[in-house]
Amino acid sequence: MTPYVDYKTRTRRRIQRAFLELLEERPFEKITVANIAERAEVSRPTFYAHFETKYFLLTSLVEDLLKAFFEQVSHESENRVLKGESELIGGELALLTEWKRHERVIRLLGVETLEDSFNKVATREFAVITRALTPDYDWALFELYYAFWTAATFGFLKKWTEKGMPYDINVVANIMATLVGPQVLARVRAEYQWQLQGGARP
């Protein structure tokens, strides 16, 4: 059964789809609110009931994409671990797979427009995971790790996208895992536990 979607959400999505269609035809600067409303078959007041400006529309589209993106990455990563696949590259492989699956939208929006939202959404999503794994979670320490992880991961994805997403995705996932994979977070956790014990290494 198809899940019920209320009228407000359907209208919002229709406006977003219309905006993406227009991005395939012309640059962002050449798109007006009137263009978007006409393509979505809504009035301008309806557009403004959902988005203050076309810039807010762009931001909303990016954040909605990334939220769904990370939810799927988390789901796929869990599935790979349950299937007995490498935990080391499970998250990275899921991340790259989803990124490639959304390649068309990413290119339409412009990969550079995703950076701030990527950092915000990724930090939020992975902070939730860390809190679950580390009951005595200390944001001051893990904030440093996530600042590194989000910047390094986005830089990796951006360069991979600019190069046309070359090479076998499993090879790329292994490279990414080596640079920013879960073993790095494990090291941060170990250092944190060491600090909790008064700096006395075992």
Q: For position 92, what pLDDT does the model report?
A: 82
Kindly tell me if the per-residue pLDDT of 91 is higher than 80: no
Residue 61: HSE in the Cβ half-sphere, 13 Å Cα cutoff: 25
Q: pLDDT tens digits for 32-88?
A: 999 999 999 999 999 999 999 999 999 999 888 888 888 777 776 666 555 655 555
Q: pLDDT tens digits for 107-122?
A: 999 998 899 888 888 8
160 vs 180: which has the higher pLDDT: 160
In sequence order, the 6+-apart residues with CB closer than 8 A to the CB of 145 are 184, 185, 188
102 vs 81: which has the higher pLDDT: 102
CA distance 108 to 134: 38
Q: For position 43, what pLDDT does the model report?
A: 97
CA distance 12 to 16: 6
% of residues, the chain, pLDDT over 70: 81
- pTM, two decimal places: 0.77
CA distance 109 to 91: 24
First to last CA, the chain: 56
Please determine, looking at this structure, whether the domain spanning 1-51 carries the CATH number 1.10.10.60: yes
175 vs 193: which has the higher pLDDT: 175
197 vs 48: which has the higher pLDDT: 48
Which of 98, 90, 93, 91 lies closest to 72, judged by CA? Answer: 98
